[in-house]
Structure 1
Amino acid sequence: MATGPADPADLSLLSGLAPELAKAFVSVASDIALVIDPNGVIRNVAVADAGPNPPARQWVGRQWEETVTGDTRQKIKQLLLEASSTGVTRRREVNHPSGSGPDIPISYAALRLGEQGPLIAVGRDLRAVGAIQQRFIEAQQELERDYWKLRQAQTRDRLLAQVASDAVMVLDGESLAVIDANPTADELFGGLQQPLPAPIAELLAMARRTARAAEVRTRLGDGGTQIELSATPFRAPGEGQGALRLLVRARPASFDAEGPAGEGVVVTDSSGRVLMANDAFVALCRCGVEAQVRSQLLTDALGDPDRRLAALMVDVRRDGLAQASGVSIGHAPGQVFGVEVCAALLADGDQECIGLTLRRVALTSGDEAPSDKLAAALRGLIERVGELPLPELMQQAAELAERHAIESAMHRAASELRAAARLLGLNDHDLALRLQRLGIAVRR
């Protein structure tokens, strides 16, 4: 059969056999075939066993374009016009309303049987094709979800590994003197000494000059350990813009992602809500899985009876690095135990995060909560009612309350004089005089 315009004289002889031809097309290579008169009215419908729904047989006597949805009627007109002018058409996709459920997509091509003869429109049901396409899309979406889950897991492992293994230091932005350093930095650098190796000095100078984070890969000494080094500038609170500080992070180019055995590692957002944690941290919280602590405040997840953990979170946001030992955590009196905490700011894109490591330690008698000491002292003072006059009892009670407030502040500030004075609303000199008068020793 020619693919160009048909010869009406040749095909007109078949016009009387149109219904039989429609059935033949359906049985051989299509799902539905329509016999349509020159006025566009459907005169006969042949449907394969697995073809469109039964309503298709009710189309007889109706205009073909009335059997399709409004948005595809123009395609029926194009099919009729093309068949009238060329005798054969290319395929066009239209939708038939099903009456119940989604529309039925059909791809039609039409053949004219003679100049004045009927049309045979042969259609292919596209629902099976659509189902295959939908399964392909769903499979693709599932692959994408698995990919992003893998990326998120890799990001989680990378951040936890950095918190567990990074050497972290805070340097003065002007003198480059070390203000604070975690134990890993002490082991790796032994304190940052002048003169600095050229790559490190250039990195710090660039971060200081541009006020933007900078990174470099270098070696410690000749043939020493290869490290990845980053420096992030920030402003410490103070007058004006505050003093410039550099938060320096370093790790070996290949490092152990697990960290010390049994060490809890957690990453929180800037407000202290848990973003991710390792199994050791989940065990410290007495939970079964990480999902149970995610989105909780760190202090709520661990328990913070002395509020030292909350004070440490304030310090790390201000100073970039904060450490404390003998921090009490736990929710019930019989479950309180001590941990050594090291917290540092993390730069993860635009989101400010805080990474913490926690290692369980024994609480000493000196770590007893100040509130317990005050209660015991007041009980002893009350027992002396009748032995001492009221003014003297009141004076001793006032001294106990003052001692309790100062010891509480020193306890929360890990014996750091300036931080404790700030908690009490005093200046450093005034607090030092009170400590001396009360005979409270400051641990260095």
Structure 2
Amino acid sequence: MKQATPSADDTRRFRQASQWLGQLDADVAAELAAAGGDLALLIDRDGVIRDVASGEEDELELRQWLGRQWADTVTDEGRVKVAEMLASPSGAAARWRQVTHPATGHDIPVRYRVVKLANGATLAIGRDERILARLQQRLLQVQQSLERDYLRLRQAESRYRLLFEMTAEPMLIVDAASLRIREINPAASRILTGSGNLPGQPLVAQVNAEHRDRLIAFLGAAGTGNSIAPVRIELARSGEEVALSARLFRQQGEGYFLVGLATDRDSALQPEERLTLDLVERLPDAFVLTDSALTVVSANSAFSELVHAATVEQLVGRPLGDFLGRPGIDLDLIRAQVGEHGVARNVATIARGIDGGQEEVEVSAVRTGDGHAHYAFTMRLVARRLRDLPPVTRDLPRSVEQLTDLVGRMPLKDIVRESTDLIERLCIEAALNYTSNNRASAAEILGLSRQSLYSKLHRHGMARMDDTDAAAE
């Protein structure tokens, strides 16, 4: 006959307990209870704690539980668990349940397992979980610290990769052992092949066969760590001669060369011209150069960051109206001001990002005077400018709260007239600020004739001397 497989509960018990433990005296049972956990509670039929055994330093505080209901010594969340443990029948499979005891200055989390005694009392054996809780807390803190370090590493990697991709200088990263190209930026791709399919290819294959030995010798010298002058080599694809520089660096035990290429086109620039281009690229304000049709020709990194573009190359050839101003209004107004005055200053508008976001900016613009006119725009975030403004000292018009306070002291028609004057003045001020104090453009935005605008300016005490003369005309 096939023997029955013992249950999981049976495997945790002695099979000959009655033979060897039947004469177990009280002192030995108490020792077993203390050895089974960090503390033990003897609880009578009514759920009252009659005795406590603990080897912890806070045993004196645990002694205060004597004579109290077990459920009264735990938090509200643990009362149900205590009731379920006390109500479990004798001989039922017991399991560990965790409750929390509030104590002076701290809480004591304890995992209990109860054993029903023959006289109807209950023995609760508990294990102090404070050490485990501290370990879990430290583990959580270490995990959070690792996640923060990983996030900072990813952000730094993204910044350096973005700089590597955006720099106008042709750059490559080459494996020092195999001399194969690992990374290449767009500027270097345009010089070597015009495509980005070079990673994994040997660097020497991009050089004229007659200059390959010179390149290998140069990289061998650069690998010693010495700073040596660039070597001039001829490219295999175009036959163009370039000045190649290299510097060794190590990452995770592997050696790599940071290789730079300089063409005669770069050296044709005067030092002052290169300095100007470098300063424009480093400007904190966004800079954009467009043709006469307001199509983007060039821009600096601040503009690509403003419109959330990864590289400037994504923006070249696209209409500036895709990123700046409200369609059909702002750019036309800026171009009209440049045509009339030669410059537009601090025109308030918005810059729209590729991802749909937008920022309030102030735009200034100029135009070249040659036959092939180009426009140059600078943009500054309004939030940055507002931080630098001095506090406003002039008296502002009445607020809405002040107007509502007039109810009961003035007739309604007088309150409405004063409210209308307030709104009219605020709108005129906003239009003048938006058009950089251009009266004609402000009148067009407000839908007024020039004479009507001058009349309202005079009525609100905002007119200038030339406004009075224009209104008379």
> What's the TM-score, normalizing by structure 2?
0.40
Higher relative contact order (CA 8 A, sep 6+): 1
